[in-house]
Amino acid sequence: MKKILVIGANGQIGTELTTALVKLHGAKQVVASDIQALGRHQELAYEKLDVTDAKRLAEVVQQHDIGEIYHLAAALSAKGEEHPEWAWNLNMTGLLNVLEVARQAKLSKVFWPSSIAAFGPSTPRDNAPQVGAMDPKTVYGISKLAGEHWCSWYAEKYGMDIRSLRYPGLISYSAEPGGGTTDYAIQALFAAAAGHDYTSFLDVDSTLPMMYMPDAVRATIELMSAPKEQLKAAGSYNLAAWSFSPRELVDIIQQRYPSFKVAYQPDFRQAIADAWPRSIDDSQARQDWSWSPAYSLTDMVDDMLLHLVKRKPVTQERAA
Ligand code: SER
């Protein structure tokens, strides 16, 4: 049986999605890859892979008899604004290399994530629709929207099966994210669990769509397992769980840790957040492949704090 290649397996999504794929298909069926020398999943075959290197990618696909790719290596929104050419090259060359190797090696399926960053100020801020105005303002968002079009082009031109989700901000504890705008929420939870105060780089009422990683991983696996004829969206699916602002998140944390304090010092990331929708209409995902999130917002906070407190030393006061 052909194997699954995860590109970016050490990253925020890759770390947890790889574990879920191993549970589903077995360790022999999954090959992990990332730009780092060593993998995080000790039980798996691992390849050090820079996805912008098309030749090396083709070798890995051939060597391991790959039939499916989950391509998760990408630069996120805030880091992309600081290093635009690097972000564009990684996100676009990486995706084009994956699509081209998938075409040449006749892979059965490809998964590639898009994002709420593909939307922009012309998109309705509440319940951003599946189909509508998209005018991204970040290099990351432009790469996601262009990537959505490239995926559709390959799918239509070559009859390939390429599946995609527009992830909201993803919250997780296994691997820290790298340079996103929604990361403030993760940082706040890490700080609270460690007994520290936190200074938020987004303003108090900056509401964004978010999701807990176990739901995002399940959504990915459910989308990839759905019969193709059920998938009616032309490109990436809108995906949602809940939306919250820093104030709402901090309120919930303070109900658990009353001494947790947050200051607000919005920086350049505020403008990025201001151009994204506050909430997402994911009714097509719900209809086509029965998407439904399992975690409530408070479930997420409780589960995050439980895992983070277990992992990190906390002050006496917070531990009590
Ligand atoms: N979480 C991402 C970011 O903040 C959005 O897709 O960049």
Q: What is the CATH number of the domain that holds 285?
A: 3.40.50.720
| 205 and 149 together in one domain | no
* Residue in this structure with the two tokens 């290099």, named with its chain if needed: 139
| 176 and 299 together in one domain | yes
- Strands, E, within the chain: which ranges? 3-7, 30-34, 45-48, 66-71, 109-115, 162-167, 169-171, 198-200, 208-212, 237-238, 242-244, 262-264
Model confidence at 186, in pLDDT bands (50, 70, 90)?
very high
Position 62 in a domain: yes
- DSSP designation for 132: S
Count of domains forming the chain: 2
Residues 210 and 189: their CA atoms lie apart, in Å, by: 14
| 145 and 258 together in one domain | no
With a cut of 60, say whether residue 316 has pLDDT above it. no
Q: Whose CA is nearest to atom 3 of ligand 1?
A: 180
- Give the domain range for residue 202: 170-210+240-319
Residues 185 and 194: their CA atoms lie apart, in Å, by: 14
Q: What is the mean pLDDT of residues 164-172?
A: 98
Residues 64 and 34: their CA atoms lie apart, in Å, by: 15
Phi, psi of 211 (to 5 degrees): -155, 150
Q: Whose CA is nearest to atom 5 of ligand 1?
A: 169
With a cut of 70, say whether residue 183 has pLDDT above it. yes
* Residue in this structure with the two tokens 């350049």, named with its chain if needed: 268
Position 277 in a domain: yes
At 293, list the tokens: 């999130």
| 130 and 184 together in one domain | no
Q: What pLDDT is attached to residue 312?
A: 57
| 251 and 144 together in one domain | no
Position 204 in a domain: yes
Position 292 in a domain: yes
The pTM (predicted TM-score) of the whole model is: 0.96
Position 220 in a domain: no
Phi, psi of 162 (to 5 degrees): -120, 125
Q: Is 262 in the pocket of ligand 1 (CB under 6 A)?
A: no
Residues 169 and 215: their CA atoms lie apart, in Å, by: 12
| 194 and 61 together in one domain | no
Catalytic one of 70, 140, 167, 173: 140
Position 81 in a domain: yes
Position 234 in a domain: no
| 127 and 26 together in one domain | yes
The amino acid present at 146, given as its one-letter code, is A
Q: Is 12 in the pocket of ligand 1 (CB under 6 A)?
A: no
Contact 243, 182 (CB under 8 A): no
| 282 and 137 together in one domain | no
| 122 and 200 together in one domain | no
| 272 and 144 together in one domain | no
| 111 and 128 together in one domain | yes
| 137 and 261 together in one domain | no
Residues 265 and 263: their CA atoms lie apart, in Å, by: 7
- Is 70 a catalytic site residue? no
Model confidence at 317, in pLDDT bands (50, 70, 90)?
very low
